[in-house]
Amino acid sequence: MKLTYLGQSAFHLEFNGFYLVFDPMITPNKLASNINLEDITSDYILLSHGHNDHVADAYKLAKQNKSKIISNYEIVNWYESKGIDGHPMNLGGKTKFDFGNVKYVQAVHSSMLPDGSYGGSSGGFVIWDDKNCFYFAGDTALTLDMKLIATTCPPLDFAILPIGDNFTMGYEDAVHAAEFIQCDKIIGCHYDTFDYIKIDHAAAINEFKNAGKELLLLKIGKSILL
Ligand code: NI
Ligand code: MN
Question: What digits encode the pLDDT tens for the residues 35-55?
Answer: 999 999 999 999 999 999 999
Please, which residues have CB within 8 angstroms of residue 215's CB and are 6 or more apart in sequence?
163, 171, 174, 186, 187, 188, 204, 205, 207, 208, 209
Question: What digits encode the pLDDT tens for the residues 172-219?
Answer: 999 999 999 999 999 999 999 999 999 999 999 999 999 999 999 999
Ligand 1 centroid from CA 109, angstroms:
7
Q: Round to whole Å and give the CA distance between 21 and 11.
A: 6
Ligand 1 centroid from CA 99, angstroms:
26
Ligand 2 centroid from CA 167, angstroms:
7
Ligand 2 centroid from CA 130, angstroms:
31
Q: Is 18 exposed, middle or buried (0-12, 13-18, 19+ CB in 10 A)?
A: middle
Say which ligand is closest to the CA of 164.
Answer: 2
Which of 124, 155, 121, 152 is CA-nearest to residue 138?
124
195 neighbors 222 (Cβ within 8 angstroms): no
Question: Residues 69-92: what's their mean pLDDT?
Answer: 98
Question: Residues 84-106: what's their mean pLDDT?
Answer: 98
Question: What digits encode the pLDDT tens for the residues 99-141?
Answer: 999 999 999 999 999 999 999 999 999 999 999 999 999 999 9
Question: What digits encode the pLDDT tens for the residues 1-42?
Answer: 999 999 999 999 999 999 999 999 999 999 999 999 999 999
- CB count, 10 Å around CB of 6? 25
Q: What is the pLDDT of residue 118?
A: 98
Ligand 1 centroid from CA 48, angstroms:
9
Say which ligand is closest to the CA of 53.
Answer: 2
Q: What is the pLDDT of residue 9?
A: 98
Question: What digits encode the pLDDT tens for the residues 142-179?
Answer: 999 999 999 999 999 999 999 999 999 999 999 999 99
Q: Round to whole Å and give the CA distance between 178 and 161.
A: 9
Ligand 2 centroid from CA 178, angstroms:
19
Say which ligand is closest to the CA of 165.
Answer: 2
Which of 62, 1, 9, 41 is CA-nearest to residue 192?
9
Q: Round to whole Å and give the CA distance between 171 and 201.
A: 10
Ligand 2 centroid from CA 38, angstroms:
23
DSSP state string for 164-179: B-SSS-BHHHHHHHHH
Ligand 1 centroid from CA 130, angstroms:
31
By the CB criterion, residues less than 5 angstroms from ion ligand 2 are 51, 53, 139
Domains in the chain, start-ordered, CATH in brackets? 2-225 (3.60.15.10)
Please, which residues have CB within 8 angstroms of residue 21's CB and are 6 or more apart in sequence?
6, 10, 11, 12, 13, 40, 42, 44, 45, 46, 61, 67
Torsion of CA 156, 162, 165, 170, to 10 degrees: 20
Residues of the chain with pLDDT > 90, as a percent, come to 100
Ligand 1 centroid from CA 191, angstroms:
12
